[in-house]
Every structure is written in structure tokens, then in C-alpha cells.
């Protein structure tokens, strides 16, 4: 989403925050979903809560200097979130030294704060202002280092009894598959995500040391998902095999989503979407084959239009929802 340049002096805004393992991003967002200011800082991997408090304080100062009224703060964070309590219950990739994140931020800035899973926030952003405006039944998948999900049914986010539901990334696709950081084996996160692509590529170049994946990466240990994507664009057979395998797993996972939720649409977002058709094509084909075998209607799959802003915009929308009713 393009950042608005003109002054919003005197307007009501919310602060949207999206925190991940490497960066914490925040922005001032209007009630119409327009970003007016934006900032990004490295995440302290041992102090996620302090990282959020610090960047919110910085954006609050920007709002005060530009005569913008902040009505609330929305935070989207990777991990298992107790939405009602505003706390993090489990985060495999980041330490939150104070799990009661919403309360910690409220003490610091004295405005209402919501805390939700980052994929839930992104799903709400896409529904509010992005690829599927107003859709009442949708599933959003964030395909990055890991895999997150946000599920909307009947116009409401599904969070589960304790607020930690909708964790598609930790559903099991292969019971004897790779060990996941969540403690289980064979999670789809370990088979179709960025880290899965990197692992499969490292394994694959052992059998094909001439692969151009190594030309881009420099060494087996340094292989990234971007290296695999670049090699696939040059028609490297090994790279395309890795992406095809990961994409097929994603398609299997989306078929499970169709069986469980029968959404109107599935939205795909995150950095791995950038791998393009060598990854997305097999995913769509596998989904189509599996739904057709069950005589299901074709499942619509679209790409995010908000991109990396979805979490920020969605978290800000949630803050508006809480503050304004």
C-alpha cells in the first residue's frame, strides 16, 4: 500500500505494529486504511515486548508532532496469542520477556491496545482493505520463513476456545516428516515454507553439485529461498524440483483447508509467494486435482494486494474496532 504524503493533521489514526523474528514494523494508519507514516527497527530476539514498546513510543511521538490523534494500538505478533488476555502463550521463534504484551504497551502509551496473531491481523487487513474486501469466508496463509494462517468465517476471525487456534502451519502433513520447532514432526511449515525450501535445497545440491543454486548462494550452508528462486528462473532443474515439491505440499494443505472450512477464497501472502509459478503452479494444480476428485467446487486462490503492509493495516483496523466500537 502506498504511503500517503499529504498531511492528515487533526485526523484520528491507529498505530499498526507487525513484529517478526528479525524486524518490528509500525505505522500510523487512517480509518480508511491509508498509511501516513512508517518505521522499521530490528527486533531484539530476547526482548520482543520491549521492541514493541520502543517502536510504538517512537510512532506516538510522530503522531503528536503532526497533530494526529492516536485512538489505539494494534499489534500482530507471530506465535500463539490469547486474544482476550492480550498475551503471548507460545512463540517458537522469538522471546517475549513480558508475555502480557497488550498491558505492557498500554502502560507505556496510555491508549487501548489489541494483540493478535500476525496472520489474523493480515487476514483482517486483506478483508478490510486488500484483496478480498468484505469477504465473509476466507483463509489467509502467510508463507514466509514459517507458515501462519488467519481464518474468517461469517465475517468473524476464528481464534478457538483459548484464542490460540487457526495455526495451519502446525497441522501435520507427514507424520514421519522433519521435526518442527513447535515440537511436532511433519508440520506443513516444515514442508512448504521458506525454511523448508532452504532445507530441501541443501539436501538436493548434495546430489547435484552443479546446480546454479550454489552459484547464487556460494556454499551449501548459505542457501536461501531467494537463491532457489533465482536458480529456478534460470530453469535450473534441481531448483524447480525443490519448489515443485514444496508447492505440492502447499496444495495438499489447501485441500485440507477446503475440507475443513470451505472458504470462498484462499489468500496467499508472504515472501515465498515471490518464488512465482514454479511454486504456486504446483500448489494450485494439486488443490484443483484434490477438490475435483471430491466433486468440490473449484477453490479460488488469490495473492495478497497489501503485501507486507497487510499485518500493519489489519492490526490498526482491529485497534479502530476496539476503540470506536
Task: Please say whether the beta carbons of 187 and 180 come within 8 A.
Answer: yes
- What's the whole-model pTM score? 0.90
Contacts of 101-107 with CB under 8 Å at 24 or more apart are 101/48, 101/49, 101/52, 101/75, 101/77, 102/75, 104/49, 104/52, 104/53, 105/52, 105/53, 105/56, 105/73, 105/75
Percentage with pLDDT > 90 across the chain: 84
How far apart (Å, rounded) are the C-alpha atoms in residues 149 and 141? 5
Q: Which are the contacts of 55, defined by CB distance < 8 A and separation ≥ 6?
A: 17, 24, 25, 26, 39, 41
Angle at the Cα of 281 from the Cα atoms of 275 and 285, rounded to 5 degrees: 150
Q: Which are the contacts of 85, defined by CB distance < 8 A and separation ≥ 6?
A: 100, 102, 163
In terms of Cα–Cα distance, which of 309, 208, 212, 224 is closest to 272? 224
- Domains for the chain: give ranges and CATH numbers: 12-127+308-324 (3.30.420.40), 134-304 (3.30.420.40)
Distance of CA 160 to the CA centre of its chain: 19
Give the tens place of pLDDT for each residue, 290-324.
Answer: 999 999 999 999 999 999 999 999 999 999 999 88
Q: Dig out the grid coordinates for 324 from the structure.
A: 470506536
Residue 9 is predicted with a pLDDT of 58
How far apart (Å, rounded) are the C-alpha atoms in residues 224 and 65? 41
Q: Is 186 exposed, middle or buried (0-12, 13-18, 19+ CB in 10 A)?
A: middle
Helix axis angle, 237-261 to 277-293, nearest 10°: 40
Please report the sign of the dihedral spanned by the C-alpha atoms of residue 188, residue 191, residue 197, residue 199: positive
Q: Which are the contacts of 245, defined by CB distance < 8 A and separation ≥ 6?
A: 200, 282
Biggest CA-to-CA distance, the chain = 62
* Span 253-275, average pLDDT: 96
How far apart (Å, rounded) are the C-alpha atoms in residues 19 and 102? 13
Distance of CA 207 to the CA centre of its chain: 33
**pLDDT at residue 121 is higher than 60:** yes
**pLDDT at residue 8 is higher than 70:** no
Pinpoint the alpha helices (H) of the chain.
48-65, 101-109, 118-129, 189-192, 194-207, 212-217, 225-233, 237-261, 277-293, 310-324
Q: Is 44 exposed, middle or buried (0-12, 13-18, 19+ CB in 10 A)?
A: middle
- Using pLDDT thresholds of 50, 70 and 90, give the confidence band for residue 232: very high
- Higher pLDDT: 163 or 84? It is 84
**pLDDT at residue 4 is higher than 70:** no
In terms of Cα–Cα distance, which of 143, 183, 154 is closest to 274? 143
Q: H-helix or E-strand containing 42?
A: strand 35-42
**pLDDT at residue 6 is higher than 50:** no
Amino acid at each position: 500500500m502506498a504511503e500517503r504524503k499529504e498531511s492528515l493533521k487533526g485526523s484520528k489514526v491507529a498505530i499498526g505494529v507487525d513484529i517478526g523474528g528479525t524486524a518490528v514494523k509500525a505505522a500510523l494508519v487512517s480509518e480508511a486504511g491509508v498509511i501516513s507514516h512508517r518505521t522499521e527497527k530490528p527486533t531484539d530476539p530476547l526482548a520482543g515486548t520491549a521492541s514493541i514498546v520502543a517502536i510504538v513510543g517512537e510512532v506516538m511521538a510522530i503522531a503528536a508532532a503532526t497533530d494526529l490523534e492516536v485512538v489505539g494500538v494494534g499489534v500482530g505478533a507471530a506465535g500463539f496469542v490469547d486474544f482476550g488476555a492480550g498475551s503471548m502463550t507460545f512463540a517458537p521463534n522469538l522471546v517475549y520477556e513480558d508475555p502480557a504484551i497488550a498491558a505492557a504497551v498500554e502502560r507505556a502509551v496510555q491508549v487501548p491496545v489489541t494483540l493478535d496473531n500476525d496472520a489474523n491481523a493480515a487476514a483482517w487487513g486483506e478483508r478490510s482493505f486488500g484483496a478480498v474486501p468484505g469477504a465473509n469466508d476466507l483463509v489467509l496463509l502467510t508463507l514466509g520463513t514459517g507458515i501462519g494462517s488467519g481464518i474468517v468465517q461469517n465475517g468473524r476471525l476464528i481464534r478457538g476456545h483459548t484464542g490460540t487456534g487457526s495455526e495451519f502451519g502446525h497441522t501435520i502433513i507427514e507424520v514421519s516428516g522433519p521435526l518442527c520447532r513447535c515440537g511436532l514432526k511433519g508440520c506443513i511449515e516444515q514442508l512448504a515454507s521458506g525454511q523448508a525450501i532452504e532445507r530441501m535445497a541443501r539436501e538436493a545440491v548434495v546430489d547435484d553439485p552443479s546446480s546454479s543454486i550454489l552459484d547464487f548462494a556460494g556454499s551449501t550452508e548459505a542457501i536461501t529461498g531467494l537463491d532457489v528462486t533465482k536458480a529456478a528462473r534460470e530453469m535450473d532443474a534441481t531448483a524447480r524440483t525443490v519448489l515443485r515439491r514444496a508447492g505440492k505440499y502447499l496444495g495438499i494443505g489447501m485441500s485440507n483447508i477446503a475440507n475443513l472450512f470451505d472458504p470462498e477464497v484462499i489468500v496467499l501472502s508472504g515472501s515465498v509467494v515471490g518464488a512465482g509459478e514454479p511454486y504456486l503452479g504446483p500448489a494450485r494444480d494439486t488443490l484443483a486435482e484434490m477438490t475435483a476428485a471430491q466433486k468440490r467446487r473449484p477453490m479460488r486462490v488469490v495473492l495478497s494486494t497489501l503485501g507486507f503492509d497487510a499485518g500493519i493495516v489489519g492490526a490498526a483496523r482491529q485497534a479502530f474496532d476496539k476503540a470506536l466500537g
